[in-house]
Amino acid sequence: MSVNYATLGDLKKGSYIVIDGEPCRIVEMSRAKTGKHGSAKAHVVAICVFSGQKKSLVAPVDTRVQIPVIEKRLGQVLADMGDMVQIMDLETYDTFEVEKPGGDEEEEQLAAKLQPGVTVEYWLIMGKPKIIRIRSSSS
């Protein structure tokens, strides 16, 4: 599992964080200074990268948190297998299966364009691949 560590207070909206063992993108973040002897707290609302679930975290701003390491790579679609797509990495020539994007309208449009021969950008997040966008078509 490839993660780095950072201080919660250093993160911003749009950053990535690991909450409950899942990589999430921060969509909302607020800081609050508590009473006379309390330490400042951060309230983080994030969306899980793979499931789309909303997660929240409240902790002191000096807490060390995990940050997922995201590798951006290119691959070519080899086969459409219903809910899964077979992809070959264009650097290592490894083949693997990835779940088709789905959930919101934007991801449904992306899934519709996945045909054999199409070059895609995928992110390897904590050892798990996710298709992000189409780089070029096979036309």
Assess whether pLDDT exceeds 80 at residue 37.
no
Domain with 112 in it: 70-134
In this structure, of 1-5, 25-29, 47-51, 120-124, the range with the lowest mean pLDDT score is 1-5
Upper half-sphere CA count for residue 39 (Cβ side, 13 Å): 9
Q: Does residue 9 fall inside a structural domain?
A: yes
Contact 129, 123 (CB under 8 A): yes
Q: Which domain CATH number covers 40?
A: 2.30.30.30
Which one has a higher pLDDT value, 67 or 115? 67
**What are 75's two structure tokens?**
């691959």
Q: What is the pTM (predicted TM-score) of this model?
A: 0.82
